[in-house]
Structure 1
């Protein structure tokens, strides 16, 4: 089946059927579109330059973050 035959068949359909064909074409476009490339991961070097990295470095109460969380939960939840 070539494009000309498809277009002739499409043109011979009533408007409602033409809309259904157009909707189906849109569905197929979405279904078969090429996968978009994944976004690039942030480089570690760039992340290391962010201001929030190491912001609690000097806090003595956060030397062991797991212990800090356990203590905080104990205080809050009893």
Structure 2
């Protein structure tokens, strides 16, 4: 087992270049795997009940039955 940083560096330096590259890639992988979790940004709370988008078509008579409305539009476009 390698006990000191100097021994680790000496052992690393004795490796061929390809093995050194693989060791560095493995160290980068370990750093990413064991990195402290980054705090996620908090989600914005949306007041859907008072959002202007909700109910934007409530005054449209042709939207009373949305299923029929979609069916009619599709028939007009695809017939």
TM-score, structure 2 as length reference = 0.60
Q: What's 1:20 paired with?
A: 22
Aligned residues: 77
Cα-to-partner distance string for 1:11-48 (whole Å, 9 max, x where unaligned):
43244322211112223444566777777666463x33
Which blocks of at least 5 consecutive residues in structure 2 are unaligned?
Answer: none
Aligned alpha-carbon RMSD (Å): 3.1
Larger radius of gyration: 2
Q: What's 2:58 paired with?
A: 57
TM-score, structure 1 as length reference = 0.60
